[in-house]
Every structure is written in C-alpha cells, then in structure tokens.
C-alpha cells in the first residue's frame, strides 16, 4: 500500500490549479469580446426622435428609429465576426481537452455555463 506523501499531494494540487487557471484563461478573449459587445449595444441602439431638437415627420421618425449609421452597422458586423471566430476557435480547442476527474469536469462545465453562456445569451438579446 502507498503512503501519503504531502509533497506529492501539494505538487499534484498545484498542477491541477495551474491547469485549471490555464483552462479558464483560454476563455478570456471571448468573454472580453462579449462584454465589449454588450456595452456597445447600449450605445448603438437607435435613439428616440425626441432626443433630436428638430421636429421630424412621422416617416422621418420611423426611418430614424429603424436605421443605424453605416459605420455603426460595420462595427456590429466586425464585432459579430470576431465573436464567432473566437467561439469557433474555442470550440475546436475544447474538443481536445480531456478531464478525467468527473467532478472537476462537471465543475468546469458548470462554470462555463454560468460565465460564458450568460454573456452569450445577453449578447444575443441585444
């Protein structure tokens, strides 16, 4: 029977913590992109015609509410492309991960669901 070795236990615990940090850090780019997109969405929403000092006709008001400037549209498209590219990249990387400890695997999945999925859902709703 093997004896408990505190040095080995500390080494293994340290390696697990290190790998876990590396795994969580790999999502940093995506979470940053999503957070920025969510923040930008609030500023890119069409404003109310009441915000404009000019009186607009009904047709102009409707047009004003529905359209974004071309520059804003391109920024949204670029942001979506970057998010989708990073999401695809992470999906490919995640397929290569192998976590043998089922408790740790479940914990990582739950953490991803709570962190990434919440941000992505908020992003999609905007």
Radius of gyration for the alpha carbons in the chain, expressed in angstroms and rounded: 23
Per-residue pLDDT of the chain (126 residues; tens, 9 = 90+): 456 788 888 998 899 889 888 888 888 899 999 988 888 765 555 445 454 444 555 565 556 556 667 777 788 889 899 999 999 999 898 888 888 889 988 988 898 888 888 888 888 887
The answer to whether residue 68 sits within a structural domain is: yes
The answer to whether residue 41 sits within a structural domain is: yes
Supply the pLDDT for residue 108. Answer: 86
Is the Cβ–Cβ distance between 89 and 4 less than 8 Å?
no
Domain of residue 34 covers 28-125
The answer to whether residue 59 sits within a structural domain is: yes
Supply the pLDDT for residue 86. Answer: 93
The answer to whether residue 52 sits within a structural domain is: yes
Supply the pLDDT for residue 60. Answer: 59
The answer to whether residue 6 sits within a structural domain is: no
Supply the pLDDT for residue 54. Answer: 45
| Residues 26, 22: Cα–Cα separation, whole Å | 6
Supply the pLDDT for residue 88. Answer: 93
> What dihedral do alpha carbons 103, 105, 108, 112 form, nearest 10°?
-130
Supply the pLDDT for residue 125. Answer: 84
Overall domain count for the chain: 1
The answer to whether residue 87 sits within a structural domain is: yes
pTM, entire model: 0.62
The answer to whether residue 15 sits within a structural domain is: no
Going by C-alpha positions, the residue among 26, 35, 33 that lies closest to residue 90 is 26
The answer to whether residue 18 sits within a structural domain is: no
Is the Cβ–Cβ distance between 101 and 110 less than 8 Å?
no
């Amino acid at each position: 029977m093997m004896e408990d070795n505190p040095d080995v236990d500390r080494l293994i615990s340290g390696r697990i913590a290190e790998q876990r940090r590396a795994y969580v850090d790999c999502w940093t780019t995506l979470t940053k992109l999503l957070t920025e997109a969510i923040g930008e969405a609030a500023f890119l929403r069409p404003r109310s015609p009441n915000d404009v000092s000019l009186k607009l006709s009904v047709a102009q008001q409707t047009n004003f509410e529905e359209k974004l400037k071309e520059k804003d549209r391109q920024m949204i498209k670029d942001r979506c492309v970057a998010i989708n590219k990073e999401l695809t990249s992470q999906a490919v990387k995640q397929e290569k991960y192998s976590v043998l400890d089922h408790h740790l695997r479940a914990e990582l999945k739950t953490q991803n669901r709570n962190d990434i999925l919440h941000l992505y859902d908020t992003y999609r709703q905007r």
